Chains A and B, each alone.
Chain A
Amino acid sequence: MEPTRIIGPVGDATQLAGFPGAPGFDPGRTAMAGSAYALSLQVISGNQYAQAGRNSAEHALIQVDASGAAFGRRMPLNLCLVIDRSGSMEGEPLEYVKRACGHVVDLLDQNDVLSIVTFEERVDVVMPARRVLNKGLIKEHINRIMPGNTTNIYDGLVAGCSQVASVRSEGYINRVVVLTDGEPTAGVKDYPSIVGCAAEQRTRGISVTALGFGPEYNEELLAGLAKRGGGNYYYIARPELIPEVFRSELEQLLTLVAKNIRLRMVLSRWTELRQVYNQQPILGPRTAEVQIPDLERGASQRTLVELGLGRRPAGTYRVARIEVSYDDCVTGAFNQRLDGDLVFNFVTDPALVASGVNGTVQREIEVARASRSLERTMMGIKTQQLTAMHALQDLQRTQMLLAQTGMQEQAAEVGEAIQGLRSGSGDVEKTLIGTIVDLDLGKRKS
Chain B
Amino acid sequence: MEDRTIVEPAMPAMGTGEATRVMNVPPAGGMGMGDATQHAITVTCPVCQTPNPPGEPYCQDCGLLFGSTPDEVEPLPDASQLPRLVEAASGREFALNPGVNSVGREAADILLVDPTVSRRHAQVTLQGSEAIVEDLGSTNGSYVAGRRLAPGEQATAYNGDTVRFGNIHLSLTLPGAASRPEGAVAPAAAAPAVEAAADRGPAVGSLVLADGTEFPLYEGANTLGRRSGNQIVIADAFMSGKHAEIRCAAEGSAELVDIGSTNGTFFAGERLAHHTPVALTDGTTFTMGKTPVTFRSTTAAIGNGPAPMGDFELPADTTVALSTADEGAQPAV
Prevailing SS type, chain B contact patch: loop
Nearest-neighbour CB distance to chain B for A38, whole angstroms, equals: 21
Which B residues are closer than 8 A to A by beta carbons?
A: 12-17, 20-21, 47-48, 58-59, 61-65, 68-70, 73-74, 76, 79, 90-95, 97, 105-109, 111, 113, 238, 263-264, 266, 271, 287, 289-290, 325-333
A285 and B62 contact, Cβ closer than 8 Å, known pairs A343-B16, A383-B263: no
Q: B47 contacts A382, CB within 8 Å? A: no
Q: A220 contacts B332, CB within 8 Å? A: yes
Q: A385 contacts B264, CB within 8 Å? A: yes
Max chain B Cβ within 10 angstroms of own Cβ: one of A272, A286, A347, A384? A272
Cβ of A318: which chain B residues have Cβ within 8 Å of it?
58, 63-65
Nearest-neighbour CB distance to chain B for A367, whole angstroms, equals: 16
Stretch from A1-9, A139-147, A416-424 that touches the partner = A1-9
- Tell me the chain A residues, 258-281 only, with Cβ under 8 Å from chain B: 268-275, 280-281
In the complex, whether A28 has a CB less than 8 A from a CB of chain B is: no
> Considering only CB atoms and an 8 Å cut-off, how many residues of chain A contact the other chain?
58
Cβ of B326: which chain A residues have Cβ within 8 Å of it?
189-190
Q: A275 contacts B58, CB within 8 Å? A: no
In the complex, whether A437 has a CB less than 8 A from a CB of chain B is: yes
Stretch from A66-74, A152-160, A305-313 that touches the partner = A305-313
A3 and B16 contact, Cβ closer than 8 Å, known pairs A319-B63, A385-B287: yes
Give Cα A341 to B64, complex, Å. 12
Give Cα A375 to B5, complex, Å. 51
Partner of B113, one of A5, A283, A316: A283
Closest to B65 in A: A316
**Complex A-B, nearest 9 residue pairs according to Cβ-Cβ distance, in ascending order:** A268-B63, A315-B69, A316-B68, A318-B63, A316-B65, A285-B91, A269-B62, A318-B58, A317-B63
Give Cα A228 to B62, complex, Å. 34
Inter-chain contact count A-B, CB under 8 Å? Answer: 150
Q: B16 contacts A272, CB within 8 Å? A: no
- Tell me the chain A residues, 366-392 only, with Cβ under 8 Å from chain B: 375, 379, 382-385
Cβ of A224: which chain B residues have Cβ within 8 Å of it?
332-333
Closest to A285 in B: B91
In the complex, whether A39 has a CB less than 8 A from a CB of chain B is: no
Q: B333 contacts A313, CB within 8 Å? A: no
Nearest-neighbour CB distance to chain A for B329, whole angstroms, equals: 5
Q: B20 contacts A315, CB within 8 Å? A: yes
Partner of A2, one of B15, B73, B74: B15
Give Cα A55 to B17, complex, Å. 21
Give Cα A273 to B332, complex, Å. 23
Give Cα A280 to B332, complex, Å. 13
Give Cα A191 to B97, complex, Å. 38
Give Cα A383 to B330, complex, Å. 13
A314 and B70 contact, Cβ closer than 8 Å, known pairs A274-B111, A382-B290: yes
In the complex, whether A192 has a CB less than 8 A from a CB of chain B is: yes
Q: A379 contacts B263, CB within 8 Å? A: yes
In the complex, whether A223 has a CB less than 8 A from a CB of chain B is: yes
Closest to A371 in B: B333
Nearest-neighbour CB distance to chain A for B45, whole angstroms, equals: 10
A347 and B113 contact, Cβ closer than 8 Å, known pairs A220-B332, A315-B65, A319-B63: no
Nearest-neighbour CB distance to chain B for A294, whole angstroms, equals: 21
In the complex, whether A24 has a CB less than 8 A from a CB of chain B is: no
In the complex, whether A345 has a CB less than 8 A from a CB of chain B is: yes
Q: B47 contacts A284, CB within 8 Å? A: no
Give Cα A275 to B113, complex, Å. 9
In the complex, whether A405 has a CB less than 8 A from a CB of chain B is: no
Give Cα A436 to B333, complex, Å. 8
In the complex, whether A98 has a CB less than 8 A from a CB of chain B is: no
Nearest-neighbour CB distance to chain B for A82, whole angstroms, equals: 22
Cβ of A383: which chain B residues have Cβ within 8 Å of it?
238, 263, 287, 289-290
Nearest-neighbour CB distance to chain A for B49, whole angstroms, equals: 11
Cβ of B17: which chain A residues have Cβ within 8 Å of it?
48-49, 345, 347
Closest to A379 in B: B263
In the complex, whether A227 has a CB less than 8 A from a CB of chain B is: yes
Give Cα A271 to B73, complex, Å. 19
Cβ of B70: which chain A residues have Cβ within 8 Å of it?
313-315
Q: A190 contacts B328, CB within 8 Å? A: yes
In the complex, whether A433 has a CB less than 8 A from a CB of chain B is: yes
Nearest-neighbour CB distance to chain A for B83, whole angstroms, equals: 13
Give Cα A306 to B111, complex, Å. 11
Cβ of B105: which chain A residues have Cβ within 8 Å of it?
280
Give Cα A2 to B13, complex, Å. 11
Q: Can you list 26 residue pairs at the A/B interface with Cβ under 8 Å?
A: A4-B15, A5-B12, A48-B16, A189-B326, A190-B329, A220-B331, A268-B58, A269-B48, A274-B107, A275-B106, A280-B113, A284-B92, A308-B109, A310-B95, A313-B74, A314-B70, A315-B20, A315-B47, A315-B64, A315-B69, A316-B21, A316-B65, A318-B58, A318-B64, A345-B16, A385-B264
Q: B330 contacts A375, CB within 8 Å? A: no
Partner of A272, one of B73, B90, B109: B109
Nearest-neighbour CB distance to chain B for A237, whole angstroms, equals: 20
Closest to A192 in B: B328
Q: B333 contacts A191, CB within 8 Å? A: no
Closest to B73 in A: A313
